[in-house]
Amino acid sequence: SLTRMCSIEPCSLLQQSNYDCIIIVGDNPLHLGQNLSAFSKTIQHYCAKNCSIMSPKSTTFVPCSESVAPAGRLVFAHTGPLNRDFDDSRSLYDAAQRGIELAISAGSRSPLLCRAWLGSLPSDQWSMDLNNLDRCIALGALQAVYCPLEVREATGNRNAALVGRLGYLVNQEDDATAALVAQRFNFIRALESGRQLARDIGGSDPERMSPGRIADRLASEFGVVSNGPVVMEIEESIKPEKYPLMAAVDRGSVERHRGKVVHLTYEGELNSRADAADRSHVTLLLAGKGVTFDSGGLSLKTGGSMVGMHRDKCGAAAVAGLFSLLAQLRPPNLTARCSLGLVRNSIGSGSYSPDEVIVSRAGRRVRVVNTDAEGRMILADLLCLQRERALELAEPSRARLFTVATLTGHAVLAYGQGYSIAMDNGPARRLGVAAKLQAAGDLIADPFEISTVRREDWDFVRSSGPYEELLQCNPQPSAATPRGHQFPAAFLAAASGLDKHGTDSKIPLSYTHIDNAGSAGRMKSTPPTASPLLAVAMRYVLPRLSRCL
């Protein structure tokens, strides 16, 4: 049941008989382009009688004979205009997803995706490379065919995907060789493989993906071996002497929910002939929040807000998916190390409580104010570990530290659904880490917004009392607190000791906090998105592969 599901294969129109539906993604059904001229007359005839197909973002099933499209199934997925101020690559992604969903509802199990000529494409960064457009369409379609892990296991079907075969029409005007086309689709398949691992972990219920069972899932993915592309280490218990803040969160759990820490390491080959800055060697040091269920602890979630909290592990899930991608593609000039804190925030006789003062791994005295702010407790110790790893490097300036977490409801309130938020410290801002992540995400329908950690955020977490140095939170929910997603980034930097490595220090360290609460997917209704996996891969992995991809 853990086997990979439906993949995607490039093909030509001569191979369309292998499929049972044609899905055309385009911005004008009357202008499909030379590559799809075989369908123009049928669609034009339909347009003359049914103007609804012309509506932006409509998805239309076009009746036709089997001589026109296999099994008489033809779908046009309208992207809408692509050249307005607010249009971006998600128009293609969303259209492909809608097209696949309609094809499946019409009985298709082997659809073929086609990109029409796009007359409204702007001269923007996201649209200038046709490969980016194809990636967005392919990944939108693959999101639609994902089948949850529990469903695959319950049906006993090792290949329970909604479709059995998914094809993508390669533009005949593209002069790419067959080998290059194969490499491009291998990248798409690797992205999707990483997303599937992230969705399996992030979307599954809190018993199916308890800390121990997540560790088992990752062991089946990477193997606890020392000679694979990704080396995995599992800490079977959370030791207070190593991770004091995280261990406090773990105290309330019963034995079967006891926390774990998983470390993953990828070492790419060094290539000193890199000809651009974004291809030179860099070390990614990531900490992922993997809260398998968040009750709020003693600061109990009320009013039904506990429902959906099994998705509070989507930060760690996305990071794990990134390492699946690295294991398959093996990009050179890239080292990546991550630590995933897999913990359940339960209520029990040993639960940590407000008013406790706990000394972090970095030696900072932290006053607990709100046990529902458990994510930053988990991440602070792991971020401290990554800081230590960065300082061990021969060139700490090549390190890029990240925390990735569904951390705050305020992130959703501030920017809405569908957006990750990146917050740089001073050294990261000088390097443009968040800005470059945002640009990469725009290329692949994985958008970022950028927030700034200000002096008010630092003032918020500093304590004036004699007992503690830092306040973990305030008693209110983040969504009811001004700057509710920014001040946790200040807390993470301070509690981990990274505040000693700002722009004014002898050893500045680049640190970016990513809050993916708004982008991971709606908590209850749809499969997770694995965001920000795609944007991180576009920023750090793709440039280190063949530049023609």
Known catalytic residue at 301: yes
| Strands, E assignment, 348-416 | 357-359, 365-367, 399-405
Distances (CA, A) of 360 to 69, 248, 368, 491: 63, 10, 11, 12
Residue-by-residue DSSP string for 437-454: HHHHHHHTT--EEEEE--
Distance from C-alpha of 284 to C-alpha of 180, rounded to nearest angstrom: 28
H/E segment holding residue 143: helix 130-144
Q: Is 258 a catalytic residue?
A: no
Between vectors from CA 346 to CA 345 and to CA 349, what angle results, nearest 5°?
130
Cα(195)–Cα(327) distance, rounded to whole angstroms?
A: 13
Helix axes 178-203, 533-540, angle to 10 degrees: 140
pLDDT at 127 over 80: no
Cβ atoms of 416 and 427 closer than 8 Å? no
Identify any residues that bridge with 78 across adjacent strands, giving them in sequence order. 26
Local structure of residue 543 (DSSP, 8 states): G
Residue 342 contacts residue 292 (beta carbons within 8 Å): yes
Beta strands, E only, 50-177: 59-61, 74-78, 111-115, 167-169
The amino acid at residue 67 is: S
What's the pLDDT tens digit per position in 16-57? Answer: 888 999 999 999 999 999 989 999 999 999 999 999 999 999
**What are the DSSP calls for 394-411, one per residue?**
S-GGGEEEEEEE---HHH
Query: Which residues make Cβ contacts (< 8 Å) with residue 452, sequence separation at least 6?
Result: 423, 424, 486
Question: In whole angstroms, how large is the CA radius of gyration of the chain?
Answer: 24
pLDDT averaged over every residue in the chain: 93
The separation between CA 48 and the C-alpha centre of its own chain, rounded to angstroms, equals 42
The residues, any chain, with a CB within 8 Å of residue 525's CB and separated by 6 or more, are none
Q: Are 538 and 436 in contact (CB under 8 A)?
A: no
51-83, pLDDT tens digit by residue?
999 999 999 999 999 999 999 999 999 999 999
Six token digits for residue 208: 């199916």
* Contact yes or no for 339/315 (Cβ under 8 A): no
For the cut 80, the answer to whether the pLDDT of residue 226 exceeds it is no
Determine the Cα–Cα distance for residues 485 and 457; give it in Å rounded to an integer. Answer: 10
Bridge partners, residue 167, by sequence: 9, 112
Domains of the chain plus CATH, in order, are 9-172 (3.40.220.10), 199-347+372-460+483-544 (3.40.630.10)
Q: What digits encode the pLDDT tens for the residues 300-318?
A: 999 999 999 999 999 999 9
98, 376, 400, 544: which is the annotated catalytic residue? 376
In this structure, of 81-90, 174-183, 409-418, 493-502, the range with the lowest mean pLDDT score is 174-183
Average pLDDT over residues 212-223: 94
10 Å CB burial of residue 191 (0-12, 13-18, 19+) is: buried
The CA distance from 258 to 350, in Å, is 12
Say what percent of the chain tops pLDDT 90: 84
**Tokens representing residue 159 in the block:** 């290949």
DSSP E strand stretches across 123-250? 167-169, 230-235
Q: Are 527 and 521 in contact (CB under 8 A)?
A: yes
What global pTM score does this model have?
Answer: 0.96
HSE-CB of 253 using CA atoms within 13 angstroms: 27
Question: Which single residue is written with the structure tokens 């492909």?
Answer: 96
In tens, the pLDDT along 361-413 reads 999 999 999 999 999 999 999 999 999 999 999 999 999 999 999 999 999 99
Say which range, 190-194, 270-274, 416-420, has the weakest mean pLDDT.
270-274
Please give the pLDDT value at position 1. Answer: 40
Q: Which of 109, 242, 301, 389 is catalytic?
A: 301
The Cα 330–Cα 320 span in angstroms is 15
